[in-house]
Amino acid sequence: MKKRVFLTRTLHDFALSELKKRYKIEIYSGKIPIPQSKLRSKIKDVEGLICFPYDKIDKNTIESAKNLKVISTYSVGFDHIDVECAKERKIRVGYTPEVLTDATADLAFSLLLDLFRRVSEGDRIIRKGGWNIIYGAYDYVGIDLQGKTLGILGLGRIGKVLAKRAKAFDMKIIYHNRKQVSESKEKSLNVKYVSFEKLITQSDVISIHVPHTKETDHLLDMKIFRRMKNTSFVINTSRGKIINEEDLVTAIKKKIIAGAGLDVYEEEPIRGNHPLVKLQNVVLAPHIGSSTKETRSKMAEITIKNLNLGIEGRKPMYSIGY
């Protein structure tokens, strides 16, 4: 009998046909995220689960799945999964790092460019028929990137690629990490290691590239925003919960900082009437860090490979925990 696999969202056609050859699959097609009670009832008997970052794969959910062998997430982030609980129950967890590094760094850089040059804001003005109000010599001006300081919080895979992009635009690059990278790496990327305090106070724009953990939860809050320059921006393509969103809205409204470029939110999808949506000096993307044709199909390939290995009782190609 074919093993059963549940997907909380559909995947590419090639991926589905591959899955169908091996498994009996069921795909949730309703509004995201799948309600928790539905998710629990759907995975009760399955051997494999394919999930996405907006799904909550918590302890209760994992424990409701009696035959589950593998959770294969279509993402590099895995803070939506209780990895410890999966490990205790000998359930494999697979994820998709590496393939989305360039795409995510590119998105972070495009948010930076957009904020500095006010592209989305101008788009909104034009669509409202307001071009005539932005024709002055010094109104509606952006900022040069050249010579400005980019602070990279977390110089991992994505942070390093972002540094390469910023170097090409002649930005000064500082970074803060748990561990300083090698001198030769610093030299090739043209980056300088600084303390967290210096990163916060010296950057003209801070881009977040650390994972969401207990330690990074609400790492950026009003206390931090108050120490930043009031001309500086925040970019987040990592996880929404690293920023205290309520504080961010207040900091931007009160001009404590200049604005933000966000791809991730405390709750996703962000609601249409969220206070962030009303702010002009904010660029909002719908969690599309990895969303290019090429990257997304590579992620699907890895998601399936991870799933297959886990169902066979083997370690996924990219594995966390057990």
Q: Which residues bind ligand DGY (CB under 6 A)?
A: 53, 75-77, 100, 287, 289-290
List 80, 176, 212, 239, catalytic entry = 239
List 40, 268, 301, 314, catalytic entry = 268
Question: What is the per-residue burial (b if ≥16 Cβ within 10 Å, else e) of 184-193?
Answer: eebeebebeb
Nearer to ligand DGY, 100 or 224 (CB): 100
List 165, 212, 287, 296, catalytic entry = 287
Number of separate helices (H) and strands (E) present in the chain:
12, 13
Nearer to ligand DGY, 161 or 200 (CB): 161
- To ligand DGY, the closest distance from the beta carbon of 239 in angstroms equals 7
Q: Establish how many alpha carbons lie within 13 A of residue 104's alpha carbon, considering only the half-sphere containing its beta carbon.
A: 28
Respond yes or no: is residue 12 known to be catalytic: no
**How is residue 307 written in tokens?**
């799933």
- To ligand DGY, the closest distance from the beta carbon of 236 in angstroms equals 10
Respond yes or no: is residue 268 known to be catalytic: yes
Nearer to ligand DGY, 81 or 200 (CB): 81
Q: Is 266 exposed, middle or buried (CB count within 10 Å of its CB: 0-12, 13-18, 19+)?
A: middle
SS3 at position 214: coil
Alpha-carbon span 91 to 322, nearest angstrom: 7
Alpha-carbon span 225 to 155, nearest angstrom: 21
- To ligand DGY, the closest distance from the beta carbon of 151 in angstroms equals 20
Nearer to ligand DGY, 76 or 283 (CB): 76
DSSP 131: G
- To ligand DGY, the closest distance from the beta carbon of 208 in angstroms equals 12
Respond yes or no: is residue 239 known to be catalytic: yes
